[in-house]
């Protein structure tokens, strides 16, 4: 490289070449009429061929022409073909990337450039903050491997609302887990989507939905405006009142059947004071932690 010999950067060499109008590659001197004949011969069999492909065909003949001259020649030779290419040209439509907030969308993918040495890279990133949630190198590309790293990341940063990945088989377990926890569409299960669809179209002209609502009960119980928050709540329902002693007896019998011993009333009160059911409710191992605390209490007593 010239830049290595002189001891300057490559961009400096290119800038000086443009400044003094120095061309390292000498272009072939061809008249426009001759160039038009060459272009016509190339585009005769395919009118959709573009200037870059025409330049490549010309280079095979040791004819070096600038891109601008080839474009001008194409317009002169076949203006209809140029218009046809511009109409059928399918450029990639760039979209604005927008994420609502942290843990709203994660991206996961794998890299196989080191597969020659038996190494596979798996990584995940938060779409809002661009923070790398997990990045690891493994010797296999199994779905269980990716799932284990994803679960470790969720324990540290929380579970994302949505996930974006390719259709690789290594992402199957993660996708099934997300669909089971978050639902198949916008964090909603099929049952929730059905209910929201019924409520959203309650006042529409859809006869089927109107019949479905009217057949569910008396028309007076279904006002024109349906309150989403009160959906499924029966205002006339009165729960049966039960005394706490009977409830404690049923719980003691259940614990006694489980652990093979009778749990008296005093131990049950002490257990309620020791184990708080709503403590640390956001913990991902919530049920396991409560069970371990209860088991420890019973074994000590």
Q: How many Å is the Cα radius of gyration of the chain? A: 35
pLDDT tens-digit map of 51-78? 888 999 998 888 888 888 999 998 999 8
Question: Is 3:9 a contact under the CB 8 Å cutoff?
Answer: yes
Q: Is 134 strand, coil or helix?
A: strand
Question: Is 128:104 a contact under the CB 8 Å cutoff?
Answer: yes
- The reported pLDDT for the residue numbered 242 is 47
pLDDT tens-digit map of 198-237? 666 666 555 555 565 555 544 444 444 445 455 555 566 5
Higher-confidence residue of 100 and 73: namely: 73
- The reported pLDDT for the residue numbered 79 is 86
- What the chain holds in terms of domains, given with CATH numbers, is 2-88 (no CATH), 105-182 (3.30.420.10), 188-233 (no CATH), 244-300 (no CATH)
DSSP state of 108: E
The rounded distance, in Å, linking the Cα atoms of 55 and 60 is: 9
- Which region among 13-27, 63-77, 136-150, 194-208 has the lowest average model confidence (pLDDT)? 194-208
């Amino acid at each position: 490289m010239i830049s290595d010999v002189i001891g300057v950067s490559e961009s400096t060499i290119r800038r000086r070449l443009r400044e003094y109008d120095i061309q390292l590659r000498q272009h072939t001197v061809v008249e426009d009429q001759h160039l038009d004949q060459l272009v016509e011969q190339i585009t005769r069999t395919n009118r959709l061929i573009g200037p870059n492909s025409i330049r490549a065909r010309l280079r095979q003949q040791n004819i070096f022409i600038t891109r601008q001259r080839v474009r001008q020649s194409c317009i002169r030779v076949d203006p209809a073909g140029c218009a046809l290419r511009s109409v059928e040209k399918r450029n990639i439509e760039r979209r604005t990337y927008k994420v609502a907030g942290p843990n709203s969308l994660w991206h996961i993918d794998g890299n196989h450039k080191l597969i020659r040495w038996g190494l596979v890279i798996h990584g995940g990133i938060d779409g809002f903050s661009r923070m790398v949630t997990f990045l690891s190198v493994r010797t296999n590309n199994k779905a269980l491997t990716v799932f284990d790293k994803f679960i470790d990341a969720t324990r540290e940063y929380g579970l994302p609302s949505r996930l974006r990945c390719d259709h690789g088989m290594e992402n199957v377990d993660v996708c099934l887990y997300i669909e089971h926890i978050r639902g198949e569409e916008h964090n909603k299960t099929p049952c929730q989507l059905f209910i929201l669809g019924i409520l959203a179209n309650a006042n529409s002209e859809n006869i089927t939905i109107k019949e479905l609502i009217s057949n569910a009960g008396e028309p007076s119980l279904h006002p024109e405006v349906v309150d989403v928050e009160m959906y499924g709540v029966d205002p006339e329902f009165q729960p049966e009142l039960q005394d706490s002693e009977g409830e404690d007896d049923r719980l003691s019998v259940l614990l006694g059947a489980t652990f093979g011993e009778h749990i008296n009333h005093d131990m049950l009160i002490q257990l309620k004071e020791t184990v708080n059911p709503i403590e640390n409710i956001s913990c991902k191992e919530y049920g396991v932690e409560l069970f371990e605390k209860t088991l420890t209490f019973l074994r000590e007593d």
